[in-house]
Homo-oligomer: A and B are copies of this chain.
Amino acid sequence: MSDLTRLSINQETIKQWSLPELAEGCVKAGIDKVGLWRAPVQEYGVERTARLLGDAGLSVTSLCRGGFFTATDPAERARALDDNRAAVDEAAGLSTDTLVLVSGGLPAGSRDLYGARERIADALAELAPYAAERGVRLAVEPLHPMFASDRCVVSTLSQALDIAERFPAEQVGVVVDTYHVWWDDQAPAQIARAGAGGRIHSFQLADWITPLPAGVLLGRGQLGEGSVDFRAFRQQVEAAGFAGPIEVEIFNESLWARDGAEVLAEVAARYQEHAC
């Protein structure tokens, strides 16, 4: 019994694969959706990536990532907005409707979380109309609170929605990534809130495992080996009206050290075992 119709593979999960390898591997495995990152796409070329995936019958469920909106320096803010407009253009070039945003941490020496969150909203006000004209939705991703100082001052779905709801739902929504929100007792209510507003723009899966490695970035678990109740999250987003792709995005060096096809087969099996 294979049910991979909703599954999307984020390319960082199998970072050892080139884009052609990813395309070929997904087709062989019966998976027709991928999530992409800007750097490897830029390296391969946006148009060339679009053609490669189109020829393989693959669609792109999201592009990671825009964001980093929290600088106070005007020149740095201007550069960030320029870079985000480029990210929107790349998303449009890949025919994906969703640009994932990692909003940015505290500027050096700052302790002002509230000010940083306001600067995110200010940047979205400039960026959202630009993206909307190009058919791209901005998806604010709350990152786990352990990333609040250095990557993303938006730590919960509640905070992400407080920002997103200042804009039309077709312009700004949120990412529900189990790795970041699994611990939060308010996540179910906030998923319902996001769904009611049509703002679940992306749903991503990774498991929570410990001990965390130094720097904590590459400590995500393969589905089923950690603390996340994926089935519960899937039921919550679906009860909230979400029927989109389910993207598996795992950053873990031990997965990157293995054969890509083996990792993909494992992800597909674990997805069906734990999230279907």
Interface of A toward B, CB cutoff 8 Å: 106, 110-114, 117, 144-146, 148-150, 153, 155-156, 158-159, 182-186, 208-216, 226-229
4 tightest A-B contacts by CB? A148-B183, A214-B214, A111-B229, A146-B146
Minimum distance in angstroms from A146 CB to a CB of chain B: 4
How far, in angstroms, from A148 to B158 measured CA to CA in the complex?
19
How far, in angstroms, from A221 to B39 measured CA to CA in the complex?
33
Q: List 24 A-B contacts (CB under 8 A).
A: A110-B227, A114-B185, A117-B185, A144-B145, A145-B145, A146-B216, A148-B182, A148-B227, A149-B208, A149-B209, A149-B227, A150-B210, A150-B211, A155-B183, A155-B184, A155-B185, A158-B185, A158-B186, A159-B185, A211-B215, A212-B214, A212-B215, A213-B214, A216-B216
Beta-carbon contact of A149 and B111 below 8 Å:
no
Please indicate the chain B residues that have their CB under 8 angstroms from the CB of A153 in the complex. Answer: 183
Minimum distance in angstroms from A42 CB to a CB of chain B: 26
Query: Which DSSP category, helix, strand, loop or mixed, fits chain A's interface?
Result: loop
